Amino acid sequence: MKLGRLCAVMALGLSTTGLAADYPVKPIRFLVGAAPGGGTDFMARLAAQKLSDAWGQPVIVDNRVGATGLIAMEMLAKATPDGYTLIVFNVGHMMSAYVARKVAFDPVKDFAPVSLMADGTTLLGIHPSIPARSVREFVAYAKARPGKLNYASGGMGGIQHLSTELLKREAGIDLLHVPYKGSGPGALALVSGQVEVFLTNLLALVPLAKNGKVAALAVSGSKRVSVLADVPTFAEAGYPGVNVSLWQGVFAPAGTSGAIIGKLSSALAASVKTPEVTRLLEAQGAQPVGTTPAEFGRFLQLEQERWLRIVREMKITMN
């Protein structure tokens, strides 16, 4: 390597390292492609507070609702790759980017994985007016009324949409899809009776299940959750194929310094593994994770392959 080029590479490395050492020197923005009140918004605000406390810089949660997270993801793709605009997203937002026919960004090339923060649980809730208090009773009720019951989702291609379509396939039932702009609005629709069924993150439905406004039938995952210990898993209820991991992670724009991404990843992993955050997450049926960017990248690849296979098998399409 010529001396001039070597010096230039060394200077770039030094400047990048220096940039990461100083980072952050101004507020950070967490884009969230879902309405307040859901699991992803909860995770974003929890992480934002911990990073603010650790770094002495505000971390602002910016909810950009619409198109099952695609609006927020497009904003991130266009953002300056300096570590000051990030996105907290979930498996449904990732899948909406893969199954949508037209998006203004590349879901692989335009984003850099930072960290997988938490792995959560979904809960099947129904309106209490439905005379069913188990999954089998609900399936029998739905089979007797094909196409007559409505289910909510956080948007086309999102995890609530895909997981409920998975439930429909496994149980052999016909439900009508009504998309909303996040799990918060979907939960309100369930309580009001606009829809009869909602399979979504545990956080959105637990308070409603506790006060009797929603009947909780089953949770995803390999074991029951302590906050609803009497609610069986889908496997216990006879539907092991409804196996959904409701995770949240963080992306940065592609081109963000590896040193900054590494610093963010380490800080996020440390924040979610504190006793306080672990306790809060476990109360919502979630587990803290915290990964390196490379680990998160490998995880994303596996999730993408799994859900794309399910989408193809069920012939799910988006406009």
Per-residue pLDDT tens over the stretch 138-165: 999 999 999 999 999 988 888 899 999 9
DSSP single-letter state for residue 31 = E
DSSP assigned state of 68: G
CATH architecture assignment, domain 24-120+245-314 = 3-Layer(aba) Sandwich (3.40)
Give residue-wise pLDDT tens across range 108-126. 899 999 999 999 889 999 9
The answer for residues whose C-beta is within 8 angstroms of residue 273's C-beta and 6 or more apart is 288, 290
Would you say the CATH fold of 122-228 matches that of 24-120+245-314? yes
Q: Which ranges of the chain would DSSP assign to H, the alpha helix?
A: 3-22, 39-55, 70-78, 91-99, 135-143, 159-171, 183-192, 202-210, 258-272, 275-283, 293-314
- C-alpha–C-alpha distance, residues 253 and 238, integer Å: 42
pLDDT tens across 28-82, in order?
999 999 888 778 898 999 999 999 999 999 999 999 998 889 999 999 999 999 9
- Answer whether 94's CB lies under 8 Å from 34's CB: no
Which CATH superfamily includes the segment(s) 122-228?
Periplasmic binding protein-like II (3.40.190.10)
Domain spans of the chain, in order of start:
24-120+245-314, 122-228
The confidence band for 17, taking pLDDT boundaries of 50, 70 and 90, is: low
Q: How many CB atoms lie within 10 A of CB 171?
A: 22
pTM metric for this prediction: 0.82
